[in-house]
Structure 1
């Protein structure tokens, strides 16, 4: 793929992420995506064939980072480091892919009608693996005996809120857009809360 083709494809994908995040799959129009990307409407179909293919590509653009975020999870790993790395990776996804994150959240809330079965299984398999690691650490006395499912759900909620509820965060903080220091503070706060709840910080049970 030539550099121009790669650039056009990336422009369309980014514009589609914003359009789907703002309007949802049904209301988003190829003409609006093209206008936002600054390319002719036929280019949208040239690179992506259909609106549904483009929507799936937007989902794919965040599914892979979500799967990669779990790379640190392994039974023999240090729980403190694994949880820290995982939380930081999830916050980076919210920072770098906020629109795709919103599209993914909406897709999940609607029962994942467009998410391919293999991606659903990959995400579910990832979650099962992570939860199994947490349970083994609990069984070995390495972290506090808290429900591993709800621990994972809490991490998802805490990290993804910075993308999915960015409007509310902007209103509360008075900032139009969070900066690098804000995301660092967010990551450190979530790490401190999770490690403390897992009994991994001195002074916490």
Structure 2
């Protein structure tokens, strides 16, 4: 299953040009194994929202990337499966015929996959309506700056960028090229000392812990 053109992502690129902090995550990790789940929960995060492709699974797969199994279980043990949700731009979207990929991912990952009509970075109201929590109580984790991180920042989430992708094999070509550009963009914005949005549960000191 591929993805249709993400017009929301394209249009929101202009918002990023005007406000580059939108693409800056509060926390950068190599992959989900470095996420301090217990620390996040102790600080007030109640819901963990994850992108799927190249964050938890290989592109368009529905099972957890094997090296992440222990970290994924640790996340579920910490928050409970009912407080973890997948927000994908493939599974659970109109690209997912009859929701088959979403259903399979739910069976294999053991958590709910959000059904949403509008792709990230738009549509954050659907997530908050589903989890019944304010945006600041949600952590959004993903590998894409212009979709996952902008989505989280627009909704007041704690944003966590997983900078190392699982694999480019099987991914669609536009996503591969845009992701590579995003990594260059992050280097530029970091050099320019562009800061992420402040979050009430997370400070610069937490990045050092």
Normalised to the residue count of structure 2, the TM-score between the two structures is 0.26
Per residue, is there more strand in 1 or in 2? 2
Greater RCO between the two (CA within 8 Å, min separation 6)? Answer: 2
Per residue, is there more helix in 1 or in 2? 1
Larger Rg: 1
Normalised to the residue count of structure 1, the TM-score between the two structures is 0.27
